[in-house]
Amino acid sequence: MRRIFAGAFAAAVAGDLVSLLAGWDLGHTLCKPLLLPLLAAYAVVRGAPRLLIAALFFGWCGDVLLMFDADPAFLAGMGGFAVGHVCYLVLFARYGRRGERADFLLATYGVVLAATLPMLWSDLPAELRIPVVAYSLLLTAMAFRAARLGAAAGIGGALFLLSDTLIATGLADWPQLPRPDFWIMLTYAAAQALLVKGVLTGLDAQKDQATTYRESRAAV
C-alpha cells in the first residue's frame, strides 16, 4: 500500500506541476487538494504519529484556503500552515537530536530572516505585514529545528522556507521567476515529502534503538 500511495502522490505532484506550466487552471484546481491527503495516507501506512498527520491536515487546510483569491482566505490559510508548523516543531523536539552545526545553522537562518523581512516590510500590504512577520518567525524556527532529524528533514525545512519566501515576494510585487506558481509548488511539495521522510526515519531510528536496548537487556 505504501508504494501505491507514494506513486499516487508523485502522480498528483506531476499533474499539478504540468498544469501550472501549461496554464491549465482546472488541472491545478483538481490536483493541488489531493497532494497532502495522499501524502498523509502514505504516512499512515508507514505508522506515522498523529502529530505528523495533524501537520499534514493543517497544511492541507492552508492549501485549500490559499486557492481563494481573498485576503481573509489568505490569512486563514496562513493560520492553517502555522498550526502545522507547531505540530512539526513538537515532532522535531520528540524525535530529533541536536546537531553539531546547530549554532551555525541558527546564525544562517537568523541572518537571512534579518535581511529579508525589513526589505519586504514596506512593500507588503499594510494589513499583512504583522501576520507575515509572525508567520515568518514560526516558519524559520520550524526550518531550523527540522535539521535535528537529519539531512532529508533539514532540506525539507529549507525548501518550505524558500517556497513561502517566493509567496511573500509575490505579495510584495517583487520581480518573479517565469511561472512563479510552478516554483512555489515544486519547492512546497518537495518540502512536505522530505519532512515526512525525516519524521518517519527518526521514528524508525528510535524504534530500532528501543529494540536493540531490549535485546541487550534480555541477553544480560
- Whether the Cβ atoms of residue 141 and residue 84 lie closer than 8 Å to each other: no
Q: Which pLDDT tens digit goes with each residue over 126-151?
A: 999 999 999 999 999 999 999 888 88
- Of the candidates 179, 180, 183, the residue with the CA atom closest to the CA atom of residue 171: 180
Cell of 92: 522535531
Confidence band of 101 (pLDDT split at 50, 70, 90): low
CA 154 to CA 144: how far, in whole Å? Answer: 7
pTM of the model: 0.91
Q: How would you class 157 by CB atoms within 10 Å of its CB: exposed for 0-12, middle for 13-18, buried for 19 or more?
A: buried
Tens digits of per-residue pLDDT, 179-207? 999 999 999 999 999 999 999 988 876 66
